[in-house]
Chains A and B, each alone.
Chain A
């Protein structure tokens, strides 16, 4: 043996520097030692190898050590020894210069595959082999082999030892086998494996120590890949993990999923970003960890609330992948401490409240990290008053800050209130007057204690403006409904009408507001009305409406999708909107038999003004055909409202109706040189009001033409001062 190694050394001396020694180690006992060839192959990656980096072969025997002089760089080693299976070893050219190349007695895995209809037979299989955990052999196997497939059968040379085996064909769901016995004498047969195209998800569950007896793994779709071969599948799939913690979901549609592993008495382990591609297996890169349940200990300082009573603690658990929480427990904080046993790991929320429901602390915690959690509640004494106009207001007050803390107060008949806020700072205030149904959002208040003062003083001044009104049906009967008041797109007040339909919105600043009566059902609608604060009472008429449906097409009958309808009854201007769907279908909510004004703004088409007759009978349809013939109409405008009206197509539309929606800011063209719109050819009148007897200018729009009218003189000066 010594002579052999010496000869090998002499034959192998090619390079310079210290030699590399490779020990051929039999990882499992074999009947007889073997001899063969050790191969050293340069691994130059994507760069060309240097001339002195030449592959080498030396004779070796199992249990002995060969020595080679190699050029600098990375090298791969394997052995070809009859009766043995060799692993592969790599050497990166650095210390240490001694490697162990394990070899095993040779064995085989055999088997057969079938394919589903229309699936081409693969030419090879990918076989991944790995030593099972707890193997007592001196070396472990982990490698992937390419095994040829002929006439549906395969034979794969592997080490003769116990192996975990994964067999995969291109585009097909892999198969797994655990601790299969491969011996030199007898190949292990995988049997007949039906190959199925599709995607799959696999992974492992661990518990840090012994895995619980029953571990369920759930795979829930978050979003679907939408591939041709997949269909939307909303179900959560569940499998049981094996004793060793392995799980596999077979035949999974492409998409994004969450995986949750759970077991009774353990905190679940989850993964939220599992993206499955078509015809691929997603192997979760790390085990899902089950964790022991945790006890939570909360201490609250001071132990009592400002009223001298114990605090109330509410514990909510965050629901994964959502903004929501579920209530876990609530109770009194006795002596400043509160505990709860057996909680799952993960994020929670703690709310510390007083007897009025004011939230003094709102803390986010994560278990088990925060299993002992101190909460220090601060409190600022507050004294204040509320006025509505010049009058004191008896009302309920809700203070809310940006972090979600809430404090509630009650002002008396003199508008005075006292209480405690969790902290100084900026607070939003909602006022609910004791009388009536109104709710008023006051301007935010800054709460600060003056120098040397222990109590902060707060003054809530609500504007004294109000709007009175009634909501009636078409026969004049009062209708109870919720009413919301908006200004510049923001809700500034709310109330509700009583059984006689009367309502009053209070706390409004001077100016105009938009009032909407709200109905949960869709068979009643009321057009929003514009009201002047402290002006005349308004009347909102509720009508029975029905969904009138129709189809929007071009002149060739192709559906027109994404067209914005602005429509409404002639006496209410344009107050409703609808959008045509992918098939050109649309639905308008209008009283049966009514005549409505409408503007249609469709992408790629000129604006169309039209008068619609709503079918009186159910099932009647409104079909509209759009023409691509267009002309350009420019209306020169003043810099400020009022804006003129456009009359045409049997309808009248306020000019801003022709604007497309925007995210805010002034509509394009208004207040500048003029507003230009592509519009169906025809004769239009640009008027100071919606009636043809208002002062108007006429505009004739021809196909492809450009028409400009000056609308700056269509307004009759307002005679009122």
Chain B
């Protein structure tokens, strides 16, 4: 599972110093879905997550999350992050056993699903850290360019 698929990593290229300052993260809980973050200028700060993949047997699959679902809020909170890094950091704080409530939209049907984070295996955690490092590196480069 890629918690942050490569497309998601590319989405966080514009992250700022917040992510850059992060220490290597502690092992988060495993939710089992990959996503990209989207918003438009018209939607201002409010955006949405687009589910790009659901890992077999994962909490996301058990909660019937599906590819192409749109996630419009996390724990009742709109996807209104000032930067993509905020989403990255928010989900990095999910711990095994923690419940995460998502509001999803599919075919104009709104649905509430609750995912109970599982433990992240060593292999998945290694990949997750790699992605986190990539995002941090991208943030560092971007800040340098500014």
Chain A residues engaging chain B, CB cutoff 8 angstroms: 222-226, 232, 255-256, 316, 321-325, 349, 402, 404, 482, 486, 489-491, 494, 516, 518-520, 547, 549, 558-562, 564, 577-579, 581-582, 585-587, 601-604, 660-664
Contacts and interface: CB of A to CB of B under 8 A. Distances in A.
26 contacts: A223-B75, A226-B76, A255-B75, A321-B93, A323-B25, A323-B92, A402-B126, A404-B24, A482-B145, A486-B6, A489-B6, A549-B40, A559-B108, A561-B108, A562-B106, A577-B7, A579-B36, A579-B48, A581-B43, A581-B70, A582-B70, A660-B67, A661-B5, A661-B67, A662-B52, A664-B2
A585 B107 contact: no
Interface of B: 1-2, 5-7, 10, 13-14, 21-26, 34, 36, 38-43, 47-48, 50, 52-55, 66-70, 72-78, 89, 92-93, 101, 103, 105-108, 126, 134, 137-138, 141-142, 145-146
A476 B23 CA distance: 41
B22 A323 contact: yes
Contacts of B50: 562, 564, 579
Question: Which of B13, B73, B107 has the most chain A CB atoms closer than 10 A to its own CB?
Answer: B107
A585 B70 contact: no
B5 A323 contact: no
Contact of B70 (A486, A494, A561): A561
Contacts of A578: 38
B142 A323 contact: no
Contact of A322 (B78, B89, B107): B89
B70 A663 contact: no
A586 to B, nearest CB: 7
Contacts of A255: 75-76
Contacts of A602: 68
Given A226-B73, A604-B107, 15 more contacts: A226-B103, A323-B26, A349-B23, A491-B137, A494-B137, A520-B13, A547-B40, A581-B40, A587-B40, A587-B41, A602-B68, A661-B53, A662-B67, A663-B2, A663-B55
A324 B36 contact: no
A604 B66 CA distance: 13
A324 B76 CA distance: 24
Contacts of B42: 549, 585, 587
Contacts of B145: 482, 518-520
B6 A603 contact: no
Question: Which of B2, B53, B68, B75 has the most chain A CB atoms closer than 10 A to its own CB?
Answer: B68
B22 to A, nearest CB: 6
B89 to A, nearest CB: 7
Given A324-B23, A587-B40, A491 B53 contact: no
B144 to A, nearest CB: 8
Nearest to A226: B76
Nearest to B58: A663
Question: Which of B13, B66, B126 has the most chain A CB atoms closer than 10 A to its own CB?
Answer: B13
B140 to A, nearest CB: 10
Contacts of A579: 36, 38, 48, 50, 70
A559 B69 CA distance: 15
A233 to B, nearest CB: 11
A718 to B, nearest CB: 29
Contacts of A560: 108
Contacts of B39: 581
A663 B23 contact: no
Contacts of A520: 13-14, 142, 145-146
A518 B68 contact: no
User: Which 3 A-B pairs give the minimum distances between C-beta atoms?
Assistant: A226-B76, A223-B75, A663-B53
Contact of A562 (B25, B89, B105): B105
B146 A603 contact: no
Contacts of A577: 7, 36
B89 A223 contact: no
Nearest to B50: A579
Contacts of B25: 323
A322 to B, nearest CB: 6
A660 B68 contact: yes
B40 A562 contact: no
